[in-house]
Amino acid sequence: MAADDDPGKWDCPPHTKAKHDMLGRYLDGWFPILASWSGRVVFLDGFAGRGRYNDGSEGSPLVALRHLLDHRSFPVMRDREFVFLFVEANDANAESLQQEIDKFKSERAPWPKNVKVSVVNDKFDVTATAMIDYLREQKKNLAPTFAFVDPFGYSGLPMDLLANLLDHPHTEVFVNFMVGHVQRFIERDGQENAMRSLFGIDVREVLDGYDGQGDRVEYLRAVYERQLQEKAKFDYVQSFAMINSTGNIGYYLLHGTKHRAGVKVMKSAMWKVDPGGGFTFSDRLAGKDVLFTPEPNLQPLREDLLSSFAGAKGVSVDYIEWHAILRTPYRETHVRPVLRLLEKEKIITVNRPPGKKQFTDGVTIDFP
């Protein structure tokens, strides 16, 4: 929920509901994974908002809390401490958020002692800097953290700060990159410092590789993704375009993680959400749009597999599935339908040991 004091901004459009649905689905997989690694888990919402939209829809803080307390594995995670930090700069929004959380806690009484909730009425960058300074003074590391960073615009989201805050092997980020605003104002006088903060490099360096001929929105997305990888040291960064009813990209959702299991969980969350309302989730593969729909077009995946594994022999199905997860917009569940069709068309050779069926463990593929 992005912070903004215009009441009209607290209408909840379908694409925002889809974004929060995706957040909740991801947390369903993330909470038990992180709880298995550490005694303390942190959920940090950098632009938390007022808690509830005009139509009654829950904001991201309530979504996060509900998905923990309603999780089927929560009873066995009672020995883990879950810390929720909801940061909101606007005074009225922070007060409203606190009231919504108090109401939520009273409805869930008795409140579990291992779930700590704090509303911080301050700017995200100020709060994050204070957290980093405190941890350095205490010579401690931040606990495994999921940072949900959903600003309205592009200010107050320094790349260097994200890199310092998320310097932990079990930390992840889900960030809204408002590329529409960025591409409109990146060369405007007076925006140099804001852009330098956002990307972690000067505007000149941001635009250094842009020749003026290609898609500048896509180029800016690639630069921001690269910065998350290089500065914040996320091994895996996935970006998903939110395309509006006019066919234009309104913003990108980027997920950064240091573990491929996190990519797998996020892919699952993305493919299970129906954006609706004229908005569509999209990613690109070899210059082609891949739309996140219940019945996706698997042709780009087919072409990618034949190209990426051309001439390869004895490739395991597991390896091919991880390739799809990490190198394409698709899930592992999309791989086997493609392989079945390629085998039927006698394009690939499937090596099945005695007793093995379909594409189970031990089955390998020879590609032409």
| CATH classification at residue 332 | 1.10.10.10
Please state whether beta strands 81-87 and 40-45 pair in parallel, antiparallel, or not at all (unpaired): parallel
CA dist., res. 146 & res. 64, Å (int): 11
Neighbours of 308 (CB within 10 A): 15
Q: Are 305 and 287 members of one domain?
A: no
The token pair that represents 317 in the structure block: 């199905």
Question: Which amino acid belongs to residue 136?
Answer: R
Q: What stretches of the chain show up as alpha helix (H) in DSSP?
A: 14-37, 60-69, 91-107, 124-138, 159-165, 179-185, 192-199, 203-206, 216-230, 260-271, 299-308, 317-327, 335-344
Q: What is the DSSP code (8-state) at residue 82?
A: E
Q: How many C-beta atoms surround the C-beta of residue 285 within 10 A? A: 16
Residue 156 is predicted with a pLDDT of 83
| Residue-wise pLDDT tens digits, 283-325 | 888 777 888 888 889 999 999 999 999 999 999 999 999 999 9
The answer to the question of residue 14 being in a domain is: yes
Domain match, 106 and 29 both = yes
- Look-up of token digits 């290609």: 214
Give strand ranges (E) for 121-184. 145-149, 172-177
Q: Mark the ranges of the chain whose per-residue pLDDT is less than 70.
A: 1-9, 38, 276-278
In this structure, is residue 259 part of a structural domain? yes
248 inside domain:
yes
291, 320, 355: which is the final residue of a domain? 291
**Residues 283, 359 within the same domain:** no
Same domain, 20 and 104: yes
CB half-sphere exposure, 189, CA atoms < 13 A: 0
Last residue of a domain, one of 291, 317, 333: 291
Domain of residue 86, CATH code: 3.40.50.150
Question: Per the domain annotation, does 156 fall within a domain?
Answer: yes
Residues 180, 225 share a domain: yes
CA within 13 Å, CB half, 63? 27
92 near 49, Cβ under 8 Å? no
Within a domain: 2: no
Give me 213's structure tokens: 């001929």
Residues 306, 271 share a domain: no
Q: Is residue 173 part of a domain?
A: yes
- Partners of 220 in beta bridges: none
How confident is the model at residue 117, as a pLDDT? 97
Whether 346 is in a domain gets the answer yes
Q: Cα–Cα distance between 274 and 112 in angstroms, integer?
A: 32
Q: Which of 232, 261, 291 is the last residue of a domain?
A: 291
DSSP element (H, E) containing 254: strand 249-257
Same domain, 331 and 283: no
Residues 139 and 159 in one domain: yes
Report pLDDT for 9. 62
Residue 89's pLDDT is what? Answer: 95
In a domain, 1, yes or no: no
State how many domains the chain has.
2
Global pTM reads 0.89
pLDDT of residue 4: 44
Per-residue pLDDT, 15: 78
Verify that 240 and 205 share a domain, yes or no: yes
Whether 310 and 286 share a structural domain: no
Residues 233 and 114 in one domain: yes
User: Same domain for 335 and 186?
Assistant: no
- For residue 56, give its domain range: 7-291
